[in-house]
Amino acid sequence: MNRTSKQKFLKALDICQSLVDFKYRPTNLTYQAIELFCEIGKNAFELLELCHKYSSKIEKICDIIHEYGTSIDNWRVDCPLGFGAKDHCSFLSFFLNLDSGKFEYFTDNFTTPEQIAELLKDWKGIDLNSVIKKQKTLTF
């Protein structure tokens, strides 16, 4: 595993954990975490490995993302990605649950992992479809 990827992953987890301080208001921290996950996601299976390795920490962080995502409206966040703060929470849930397939969606804009994967492929050229397909065969 790439040491830099591990550092980026842990930094993204710290950012997600800090959302506890932003309940009821939008922040572009969600975008910063998404960018880090995208950098790691260039190697989809490395991202999957990191999710698996830090699964106990991720579970707690997903609770924080849920608390944050359900406390806000889908306000636009000032960032190159666009979309609203709730959509960003959906993207974070997608990245963090890549190994388990237990995604949480906060709007009707993105309701499947394939929709988010398609957005990431168009936006960043990251192809996570192989990971999604592999995980679906493991969970059924």
For residue range 46-55, what is the model confidence (pLDDT) as tens digits?
999 999 999 9
pTM: 0.93
> Are 129 and 84 a contacting pair, CB within 8 Å?
no
pLDDT tens digits for range 3-27 = 899 999 999 999 999 999 999 998 9
**In the prediction, which pLDDT does 43 show?**
92
Q: b/e for 48-82, b at 16 or more Cβ within 10 A?
A: bbbbeebeeebeebbebbeebbeebebeebeeebe
Q: Where do the domains of the chain lie?
A: 3-134
Residues 64-108: pLDDT tens digits? Answer: 999 999 999 998 988 898 899 999 999 999 999 998 888 899 999
